[in-house]
Amino acid sequence: MKIVFAASEAAPFIKTGGLGDVAGALPDALSHQKGAEVLVFLPYYKSVKNNPDIKTEFLKSFAVSLSWRVQHVGVFRLKSKKKKHQVYFIDNEYYFGKDGAYGYADDGERFAYFSKAILESLVQLGIKPDIIHANDWQTALIPVLLHAFYEEPLGGAKTVFTIHNMEYQGKCDPYFIPDVLGLPESYTNTMIFGDNTNFMKGAILMSDAVTTVSHTYADEIRYPYFAHGLASIISAHAFKLRGIVNGIDTKRYDPAADPELSVPYDIATYKDGKRAAKEALQRELGLPVRGDVPMIGIVSRLVEHKGMGLLCGLLDELMRWDLQIAIVGTGDYAFEHDLSHAAYSHPDKLSVTLRFDQKLASRIYAASDFYLMPSKSEPCGLSQLIAMRYGSVPIVHAIGGLRDTIEPWNPETGDGTGFTFQSFCALDMIDAIRRAFTLYGTDKEAFSRLIENGMRRDSSWDVPAGEYRQLYNELRPDKA
């Protein structure tokens, strides 16, 4: 079975968020499934092209049309002996020769181009996929363009569209449909939602299957609170929607092999490893060096939907407690400002590093006793999985993937992996932190068990890769 996996980012080449983690690890896991041949397509961004460690070979160049535009496509392929799957890069300096991946006025056109260029590349390279798997708004046009322009050469392919986050749907002017996509008028109903051309709506309508990254989120997005306007569209297509919970790259996120840790550890040695990591981090961040103080870690974008508003509203209260909080991340100015201000006033309790810094993130996962994730909505969330692997106990708002992956601690049975709160409100969150700290302070044995439950959890990609394969098999029983 030939599977084309299309994404706008993938670790280790380029990553700005969770999609990059997934697109970096899932194709690899899929390629180890029996009979699977996986081809990943990514944009050849400037940063990727200029990276001397990423070696590629040129395959072919040709033109693709976007309505009246005729644009260049260069296809490069990664030279790698390590990977079982192939990675292709779509080259076009006009669209991808910018400094970053997203955030430009012509993003809609850039990713419309990317989606069409992938389909054209398949034709030009003589690749006949059985499955084309698109991800998020940036590649959401693939099922639509396939249907409109590539039925004949690629028609046998079935399409899967994965929603990693409903918030970003790819919205453009209605004029985009004829002027950039070159679609006939008959596609207007498919593509228009409200006052916009909506890429995600098009993908939901035109894909053979839609998935999202947890079971709970698959239910939640049928409701307006979570669906960012598309609830009715999701409800009408719920028959082809399913949730598949993400995994993480367990080789990359492994406290026994993490170069950031001076004392690597596993489940047998975590007490020593975490003690050393905590002391080192306290020194590094200028926090008082104390083993006994409960430390909360946060590695997050500092934005409202990650629960930063809720956290900022509680800082005054939390700063009265005996605790330490270490935060790393960037985001909205208001949260960056409020958090730095609080850190300035409470240097002995709160450390805030306003950077995207994956190395410091590793040190925080290892050093912290708890990992706070008060997200307002969370399609899956990956950092709670990383935290558990590093023996940091999650305290989470029980929604989306957080509900699916964190089982509340049960003192009766000794089961569970973290602490959860049900409603998105200050009192509930404070109560969860208080319950967590009480266990930490009063029952070391139970607390150790809780840590170990989390460290033992299988968060590898093996299970989800099997579920995707199952879905592909259902769509292409002839290739199962």
Cβ 372 vs Cβ 363: under 8 Å: no
Give whichever of 457 and 479 is closer to ligand GLC, judged by the CB atom.
457
Q: Which residues contact 334 (CB under 8 A, 6 or more apart)?
A: none
- Choose which of 129, 381, 391, 454 interacts with ligand GLC (CB under 6 A): 381
Q: What tokens were used for 17?
A: 């968020």
* 3-state DSSP of 145-191: HHHHHCHHHHCCCEEEEEECCCCCCCEECCCHHHHCCCCCHHHHHHH
Under the criterion CB under 6 A, does residue 380 sit at the interface with ligand GLC?
yes
H or E stretch including 117? helix 107-124
Q: How far is the CB of 189 from ligand GLC (least distance, A)?
A: 28
What residues from 14 to 43 belong to the interface with ligand GLC (CB under 6 A)? 17-19, 22
- Taking residues 228 to 267 in sequence order and writing x for each that binds ligand GLC by CB under 6 A, - otherwise, the string is ------------------x---------------------
Q: What tokens were used for 16?
A: 């700005």
Backbone angles phi, psi at 430, to 5 degrees: -60, -40
Under the criterion CB under 6 A, does residue 329 sit at the interface with ligand GLC?
no
Cβ 89 vs Cβ 138: under 8 Å: no
- Taking residues 416 to 455 in sequence order and writing x for each that binds ligand GLC by CB under 6 A, - otherwise, the string is ----------------------------------------
Q: How far is the CB of 135 from ligand GLC (least distance, A)?
A: 8
Segment 351-359 long-range contacts (CB within 8 Å, at least 24 positions apart): 351/285, 351/286, 351/287, 351/324, 351/325, 351/326, 351/327, 352/327, 352/328, 353/285, 353/326, 353/327, 353/328, 353/329, 354/302, 354/329, 354/330, 355/328, 355/329, 355/330, 356/329, 356/330, 357/328, 359/260
Burial class (CB in 10 A: 0-12, 13-18, 19+), 283: exposed
**Contact region with ligand GLC (CB under 6 A), list: 116-124, 137-145, 170-178, 378-386:** 378-386
The one-letter amino acid code at 30 reads L
Q: How far is the CB of 395 from ligand GLC (least distance, A)?
A: 17
Give whichever of 285 and 386 is closer to ligand GLC, judged by the CB atom.
386
String of b and e for 116-145 (b: at least 16 CB within 10 Å)?
bbbbbbbbbeebebbbbbbbbbbbbbbbbb
- Taking residues 163 to 202 in sequence order and writing x for each that binds ligand GLC by CB under 6 A, - otherwise, the string is -xx-------------------------------------
Give whichever of 75 and 244 is closer to ligand GLC, judged by the CB atom.
244
- Choose which of 309, 379, 394, 454 interacts with ligand GLC (CB under 6 A): 379
Under the criterion CB under 6 A, does residue 369 sit at the interface with ligand GLC?
no
Give whichever of 177 and 380 is closer to ligand GLC, judged by the CB atom.
380
Q: How far is the CB of 212 from ligand GLC (least distance, A)?
A: 8
Residue of this chain nearest to ligand GLC (CB atom): 18
Distance of alpha carbon 2 from alpha carbon 246, whole angstroms: 22
Distance of alpha carbon 228 from alpha carbon 65, whole angstroms: 32
Cβ 422 vs Cβ 428: under 8 Å: yes
What residues from 54 to 113 belong to the interface with ligand GLC (CB under 6 A)? none
Give whichever of 91 and 378 is closer to ligand GLC, judged by the CB atom.
378
Give whichever of 124 and 216 is closer to ligand GLC, judged by the CB atom.
216
Give whichever of 124 and 162 is closer to ligand GLC, judged by the CB atom.
162
Give whichever of 391 and 464 is closer to ligand GLC, judged by the CB atom.
464
Q: Which residues contact 239 (CB under 8 A, 6 or more apart)?
A: none
Distance of alpha carbon 55 from alpha carbon 248, whole angstroms: 25
Q: How far is the CB of 306 from ligand GLC (least distance, A)?
A: 9
Q: How many residues bind ligand GLC (CB under 6 A)?
A: 14
Q: How far is the CB of 217 from ligand GLC (least distance, A)?
A: 8
Q: Nearest-CA neighbor of 203 among 243, 144, 138?
A: 144
Give whichever of 41 and 187 is closer to ligand GLC, judged by the CB atom.
41
**Contact region with ligand GLC (CB under 6 A), list: 70-78, 123-131, 376-384, 465-473:** 376-384
Give whichever of 85 and 164 is closer to ligand GLC, judged by the CB atom.
164
Q: How far is the CB of 301 from ligand GLC (least distance, A)?
A: 9
Give whichever of 118 and 380 is closer to ligand GLC, judged by the CB atom.
380
Cβ 324 vs Cβ 294: under 8 Å: yes
Q: How far is the CB of 235 from ligand GLC (least distance, A)?
A: 21
Under the criterion CB under 6 A, does residue 404 sit at the interface with ligand GLC?
no
Cβ 192 vs Cβ 174: under 8 Å: yes
Torsional class of 194: left (φ above 0), alpha (ψ -120 to 50), beta (otherwise): left
For residue 57, count other CB atoms closer than 10 A to its CB: 9
Under the criterion CB under 6 A, does residue 382 sit at the interface with ligand GLC?
yes
Q: How far is the CB of 141 from ligand GLC (least distance, A)?
A: 19
Torsional class of 170: left (φ above 0), alpha (ψ -120 to 50), beta (otherwise): left
Under the criterion CB under 6 A, does residue 391 sit at the interface with ligand GLC?
no
Distance of alpha carbon 184 from alpha carbon 67, whole angstroms: 10
Interface residues with ligand GLC (CB under 6 A) are 17-19, 22, 164-165, 213, 246, 378-382, 401
